[in-house]
A = this chain, B = another copy of it.
Amino acid sequence: MLETFPNPRPGRPYLVESVTDEFTCVCPRTGQPDFATLAIRYVPGERCVELKSLKLWLQGFRNEGHFHEDVVNRILDTLVEHLDPVWMEVEGAFARRGGIETTVTAAHGRRPQGV
Contacts and interface: CB of A to CB of B under 8 A. Distances in A.
Contact of A106 (B14, B35, B63): B14
A81 interface: no
A62 B48 contact: no
A15 B55 CA distance: 24
Interface residues of A, number: 51
A21 interface: yes
B24 A24 contact: yes
A9 interface: yes
Interface of A: 5, 7-9, 12, 14-22, 24, 32-33, 35, 44, 48, 51-52, 54-55, 59, 62-63, 67-70, 72-73, 95-108, 110-111, 114-115
